[in-house]
């Protein structure tokens, strides 16, 4: 009731202000709200953030574990967790809601999602656990955590964590999978190719744009293909098509419906008009459209999808051949 009353009051104030001939006195956002509504917004934002983290984790985990033999040397232990990455742009209200809801505080490297059935899940890691060390070394960032785990090759990975006030030492029996990790980044649609070491971002814009997990798998697998093959060294249209090819095989291996790929990348092209031009001189600092020349990519994607579907129908192994 307090929240409803606050909204009604705000609407009433705005209507009365609109009818005034004199400029209104400046007010802060808090004056148009109350504590309950403010907290409700922050907690809803946290829940949305955590849901997106869990969705990205599930898709990335499935692709990485199903395509291990296609990842060459880019293979290592996988944990099956997503962790909080502190971002000062989120603001104090978000931090407070995160701590209230999940026990995760702003400066911690803490778990916000655990993939069911993963090594972390089997070892007993929970949402809210704060990870302080992996393989005997202190953890200072999310990238540091995953890199230390991936470099450990001597059996179960020792991890020290805090659960409330209690320090817990566990050993995670590793599962080998493709190494590059996908991190959620709050941002626009076009920023999926920003690297974090050997890893990559998927933006909240792209997660929102992907209507289903089949579509999200196309984005994750494409960027994973770039990382495991080093195909980001010299970007260009052929590099994008090669990443599409390997990425589509990775997504199909994980059981995702790749028949949605042509329509999905068509939608991406419409959102990015510059991808409809092959005038690379126009782009100056990038030299090529960020996601390649989409008309040529679209034609290639349709052929690759048909090829994979024939293999599935004939019961043939999903091997992409030379990339």
Average pLDDT of the residues in 127-144: 89
Question: In this structure, are residues 169 and 158 in contact, taking their beta carbons and an 8 Å threshold?
Answer: yes
User: Higher model confidence: residue 296 or residue 199?
Assistant: 199
Q: Quick one: pLDDT at residue 293?
A: 65
The DSSP result for 203-236, as a single string, is EHHHHHH--SHHHHHHHHHHHHHHHHHTTTSS-S
Residue 15 has pLDDT above 90, yes or no: no
Q: Quick one: pLDDT at residue 42?
A: 86
- C-alpha 205/C-alpha 219 separation (Å) is 12
Which residues have CB under 8 Å from 228's CB, separation 6+? Answer: 70, 71, 72, 74, 178, 179, 180, 246
Backbone angles phi, psi at 185, to 5 degrees: -125, 130
Q: Which residue in 219, 156, 169 sits closest to 189, CA to CA?
A: 219
What's the whole-model pTM score?
0.81
Average pLDDT of the residues in 253-273: 90
Q: Quick one: pLDDT at residue 122?
A: 96
SS3 state at 124: coil
| Residue 79: count of CB within 10 angstroms of its CB | 29
Structure confidence by residue, pLDDT tens digits, 146-175: 988 888 877 899 999 999 889 999 999 989
Residue 74 has pLDDT above 90, yes or no: no
Structure confidence by residue, pLDDT tens digits, 76-124: 899 999 998 777 777 788 888 888 888 888 778 899 999 999 999 999 9
Q: Quick one: pLDDT at residue 95?
A: 87
Average pLDDT of the residues in 225-246: 74
Which residues have CB under 8 Å from 299's CB, separation 6+? Answer: none
Which residues have CB under 8 Å from 196's CB, separation 6+? Answer: 143, 183
Residue 37 has pLDDT above 70, yes or no: yes
- C-alpha 186/C-alpha 296 separation (Å) is 30
**What's the full length of the chain, in residues?**
323
Q: Angle at which helices 35-66 and 213-229 pack, to 10 degrees?
A: 60
pLDDT band at 301 (very low <50, low <70, confident <90, very high): very high
The H or E element containing residue 83 is: strand 81-83
């Amino acid at each position: 009731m307090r929240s409803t009353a606050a909204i009604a009051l705000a609407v009433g104030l705005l209507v009365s202000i609109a009818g005034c001939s004199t400029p209104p006195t400046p007010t802060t956002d808090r004056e148009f709200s109350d504590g309950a509504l403010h907290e409700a917004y922050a907690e809803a934002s946290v829940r949305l953030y955590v849901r997106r983290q869990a969705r990205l984790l599930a898709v990335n985990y499935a692709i990485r574990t199903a395509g291990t033999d296609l990842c060459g040397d880019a293979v290592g232990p996988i944990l099956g967790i997503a962790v909080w990455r502190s971002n000062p742009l989120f603001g104090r209200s978000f931090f407070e809601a995160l701590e209230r809801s999940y026990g995760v505080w702003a400066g911690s490297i803490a778990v916000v999602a655990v993939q069911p059935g993963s090594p972390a899940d089997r070892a007993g890691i929970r949402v809210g656990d704060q990870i302080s060390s992996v393989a005997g070394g202190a953890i200072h960032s999310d990238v540091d955590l995953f890199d230390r785990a991936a470099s450990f090759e001597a059996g179960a990975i020792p991890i020290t964590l805090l659960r409330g006030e209690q320090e817990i030492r566990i050993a995670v029996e590793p599962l080998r999978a493709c190494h590059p990790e996908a991190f959620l980044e709050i941002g626009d649609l076009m920023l999926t190719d920003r690297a974090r070491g050997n890893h990559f971002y998927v933006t909240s814009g792209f997660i929102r744009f992907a209507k289903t997990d089949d579509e999200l798998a196309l984005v994750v697998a494409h960027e994973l293909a770039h990382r495991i093959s080093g195909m980001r060294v010299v970007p260009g249209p052929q590099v994008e098509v090669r990443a599409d090819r390997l990425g589509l095989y990775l997504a199909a291996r994980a059981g995702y419906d790749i028949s949605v790929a042509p329509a999905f990348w068509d939608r991406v092209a419409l959102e990015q008009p510059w991808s409809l031009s092959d005038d690379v001189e126009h782009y100056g600092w990038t030299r090529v459209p960020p996601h390649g020349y989409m008309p040529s990519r679209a034609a290639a994607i349709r052929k690759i999808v048909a090829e994979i579907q024939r293999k599935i129908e004939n019961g043939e192994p999903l091997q992409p051949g030379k990339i």
